[in-house]
Structure 1
Amino acid sequence: MDPLKRDSSGADVVQLQEKLKSLGFNPGKIDGDFGPGTEAAVIAFQRSEGILADGVAGVKTLKALGIEPAQAAIKAVSVIDRISVNMVSKMFPFTPLDNIKKHLPDVLSALVERDLTDKNMVLMALATIRAETASFKPIDEGKSRFNTSPGGKPFDLYDNRRDLGNKGPSDGSSFKGRGFIQLTGRSNYEVIGTELKVNLIDNPAMANDSLIAARILAVYIKRKELRIKEALIEDDLKRARRLVNGGSHGLEPFVEAFRTGERLLA
């Protein structure tokens, strides 16, 4: 059974329309044609249930409606097998090819682990790496006036940042930004480390290990998956970027990489 969406028709659509109407989401005429009325009802139901509001009745939506999909599960199409070193090199035109060869397998493995294998989520991850570290390798945060006081020790302005969970001198440098996505702060190291079953508090430098850095990236994207997908449905790359980064830093290379990937996967 394929996902039900605009221009679908038949008995499955009738069942969908009847179920929507019975739950108070009127699709209009029960005619077996998936038109704008049915789409609007599906979107309203999805928003009510906290499901990605894309107007497509896929497996999650059908199950939430109490409609059991056919034995062949409805799944988003994975593009993992289409992601090659050559393709990624076009998204990272100034990056040493050896870095992509070395780290891409770990990134793809982490995305598979978190079931982030559809086109938008894979491109989101790769474009985020382009924005955060165009070298396509996990890196340390650099010193700047925002993290280091004049004449002070590196990252001393982070030492007492309660919002980062830091507790005093040396926490700033110990838990500075690392990885593909710049994991920062004692509390983030502790929470992510616990989720990944890795002791990042005693071994914070492990956040720069290729596979661990990739898994950290995947965790961050997974946490915001629904909201990211909603932003991408509206083609709002700025909002998608902000959901991971918290701002618009690196927006231009992020958009450039994402659009290049879209063209290559078209």
Structure 2
Amino acid sequence: MVTVPTRRLHDGTTLPAIGLGTYPLDNDEAEREVAGALEAGYRLIDTAMIYGNEAGVGRAIARSGISREEIIVTTKLPGRDHGYEQALASFEGSRRRLGLDYVDLYLIHWPLPRLDQYVECWQALIRLREESVARSIGVSNFTAEHIQRLERSTGVLPSVNQIEMHPALPQHELRGFHEAKGVRTQGWRPLGEGRALLEDPEVLAIAERHNVTPGQAVLRWQTQLGSVPIPKSADRGRQRENLDIFGFELTADELIRISARSPHRIGPHPEDYEEF
């Protein structure tokens, strides 16, 4: 089993340096794939209410035989439940579906600026943390301006901002803001669009130099930049491969070369996306 280092958050908790994403698995698929991932050594599992697989994730955890304290579970507040009371009720629904006494990391999934209720949601998350039913709280797909508003309004910074991050969207400016504020970056869609990136000659050459796969090289790129990637894979071999990225080190030049590609966002932009 691969030993995975941890990353400390500003609230004193820690995250494994890589996790498993579960979108778009259904409950049965999530139960099966999360069970395999836990067996392989993953200890950070990422889900969301909107994914529709919290129950499956919870069943896999319950049947794993692994101590609950060893597993970090992330889930997220959906746009349909923005608002203070709505957020509290939504969290209880997620906790019930997961079958857990507490959630390790609870995130606001999208800011939905048009609704302008993400500050109220954040106030609800602060309450959940104070009540110890959410060990850490954070956000997902927030801009620097959104996070600054949370800080001005409540005095509390997110422990994590989970954002789209891959070599075509390295998020240099936002990661710099995170580092200055002590917010940990998590990266979703860390392998970009997949084949186009993993067959890129530059990435292939770097991977060959280190005797690793292109996917391992890209995930190592992300961890060396301080981000916690959460790749999704339903293939057991690929799950193990994605986890085994800490036995080599990319050079500073290789980090730059992996990032040197045409900027490209795959997912929607946080300023205008409305997820309900």
Does TM-score exceed 0.5, indicating one fold? no
Name the structure with the higher helix share: 1
Tell me: higher relative CO, structure 1 or 2? Use CA pairs within 8 A at least 6 residues apart.
Answer: 2
Q: TM-score, normalised by structure 2?
A: 0.22
* Higher strand fraction (1 or 2): 2
